[in-house]
Amino acid sequence: MASTQKISKNSAQNAHRHNRDLLLALSRAAQSVQRTRTEEEVYHAVDSQIKSLGGEVALFTVTEDKKTLTLVHVTYPPEDLQNIEKLIGEKALGYRLELPAGSIYARGLEGGQTQYIHWRHEDISNILPSLPHDLTGQFMHLLKIEHGIIAPLRADEETLGLMIVNGPSLAEDDVPAMESFAAQIAISLRNVRLTQQMQLELSARRQAEENLRLQSAALEAAANAIAITDKHGIIRWVNLAWVKLTGYTKEEAVGQNPRIIKSGLHTVHFYKNLWDKILAGHVWHGEMTNRRKDGSLYHEEQTITPVLDGDGNVTHFIAIKLDITRRKQAETELKRAREELEKANHELQSAFKQQQRLARTDPLTGVHNRRYLFELAVHEFDLARRYRRPLSIIMFDLDHFKQINDTFGHAMGDQMLERVAAIARSQLRDVDLIGRYGGEEFMIVLSMTEAKQAALQAERIHKEIRMLRLETEKGIASVTLSAGIAEMIHDPKDASVDDIIRRADEALYAAKRAGRNRTVIFKPQAGGTI
């Protein structure tokens, strides 16, 4: 009986000593946890005290949906962990555990109650579903798992994860102390996370403020004029470049409508299109003329960008302006210079054409002069010879023209030549050529025309000339003409257009010898006689 009492007394003393050591260790751990600043420091504060009791601890965090646990800390020796990792085939830290419904882990999270458990094979299988059943015992033996405590990490009704403590000295009476300790860990973890979140937000806010400061400095120092208005167009901010461009100070500008720089040169429709576009949330880009404070006008290239809130509503507008006054002035000067150059070029071309016309035209009669007529005749001759086409030449002059000059004067003689040339030209086709060959003599080149056809042309000219009457102070002035015609010879072929002109000239003189006022065709078969 005494022996039984002694054993009971020793057991009570051991239990008392265990409780004291446990509370002391947890108290020290709680104090250490309260001083932590990071999650890692929380984990290590738990380590030292639990291990001093001869136990091991594993800490899991849980996802928001309470369906998955992740191992974030474990106190087992590194060599034991290595053996376990070889056994399960993956890393221990970061191991994710999908919570089976009804498992002791799920109950610990759902009920929020700390549990004292005797580990069973099926409990381990819930943690390691891929581990073969015959290796579960080996796993438990390696980690010396027999019984332990599962405590949810809860802080103000929020479950952050689970704490699993294993150790031979743990008893069911230790559940309240472990529950309190788990709560302390949860509070410390939450505080650490809140502190870290606050630090991140504070850092982000400081970074945002620094970015705003830098952006403001950049906008202020920008070479382009910048103005920020609210959605009603009231100016809220301008930079120094805007002040320099418009002449208004910041104090004069802020609170005003941009109408203070309006030039009055743009239509109501222009501004309506602008406002319709930016109020719809689109960027407007274009050129505009505005007026400075001193009244002077300036030109700007402007981009207006709407600023939208989170709901897509326009709150402000940012207008970036580029002074293009010098460019517009240069463009105006360039346009004026171009117009003057075009005008000068047109005048030069007109003068050149006039010079060409004068160089090719007989100044009295307006028909081709001898030199140019000969150039054209050579060209027609070459075409006729190449394609064996007919070509005829008429040579004619005015009969007794000297008497016109002697009787009525040279002015009337010149007028008579003008009228004769005009009449002859009116009887010709557009493709026919006529020119003053010299004095009162004219030459006509008729392409695609045989001598007999040319004679008909000459007869029409004869008829019109015979009807010509010019009134003068000394009476009526009239004139007749004599004409000679020759056509191109292909067999044997003429060597040049001179051969045709020579024969036409012979025919002309034959007409004069025959009494004038007639047309004669050169007949080569007659041996050169007319």
Residues 6+ away with beta carbon under 8 Å from 306: 278, 279, 281, 282, 283, 314, 316, 317
> Length of the chain in residues, anyone?
530
User: pLDDT value at position 454?
Assistant: 97
Instruction: In whole angstroms, give the CA distance from residue 279 to residue 312.
Output: 11
The first and second tokens of residue 135, run together, are: 């290796």
Helix (H) or strand (E) holding 446: strand 441-447
Which of these ranges, 74-78, 127-131, 419-423, has the smallest mean pLDDT?
A: 127-131
Give the model confidence (pLDDT) of 428-447 as tens digits: 999 999 999 999 999 999 99
Query: Of 202-206, 270-274, 365-369, which range is least confident?
Result: 202-206
Structure tokens at 458: 């000459």
Q: Using alpha carbons, select from 476, 475, 495, 498 the residue that is nearest to residue 486.
A: 498
Domain boundaries, the chain: 19-197, 222-323, 325-360, 361-526
Burial 461-490 (b: 16+ CB within 10 A, else e): bbebbeeeeeeeeeeebebebbbbbbbbee
Architecture of domain 361-526: 2-Layer Sandwich (3.30)
**Is the model's pLDDT at 29 over the cut of 80?**
no
Which pLDDT tens digit goes with each residue over 486-516? 999 998 889 999 999 999 999 999 999 999 9
Q: What pTM does this model have?
A: 0.44
Instruction: Assign domain 19-197 to its CATH superfamily.
Output: GAF domain (3.30.450.40)
Q: Could you tell me which of 395, 411, 491 has the C-alpha nearest to residue 451?
A: 395
Which position has the higher pLDDT, 171 or 217? 171
Confidence label for 101 from pLDDT (cuts 50, 70 and 90) = confident
- Span 186-202, average pLDDT: 79
Q: What is the DSSP letter of 361?
A: B
How far, in Å, CA of 432 to CA of 199, rounded? Answer: 102
Quick one: how far is CA 162 from the chain centroid?
57
Catalytic residues: 440
pLDDT at 36: 64
Q: Quick one: average pLDDT of 247-259?
A: 93
Which residue carries 């031979």 as its tokens? Answer: 168
The phi and psi torsions of 11 (rounded to 5 degrees) equal: -65, -40
Distance CA 422, CA 229 (A): 78
Q: What is the mean pLDDT of residues 463-481?
A: 93
Q: What is the structure's pLDDT at 117?
A: 81
pLDDT at residue 105 is higher than 90: no
Residue among 162, 145, 166, 151 at smallest CA distance from 53: 166
Per the rule left: phi > 0, alpha: psi between -120 and 50, beta: everything else, 258 is alpha
Domain 19-197 matches domain 361-526 at the CATH topology level: no
What is the CATH number assigned to the segment(s) 222-323?
3.30.450.20
> Residue 6: what pLDDT?
47
What CA–CA distance (Å, rounded) separates 126 from 123? 5
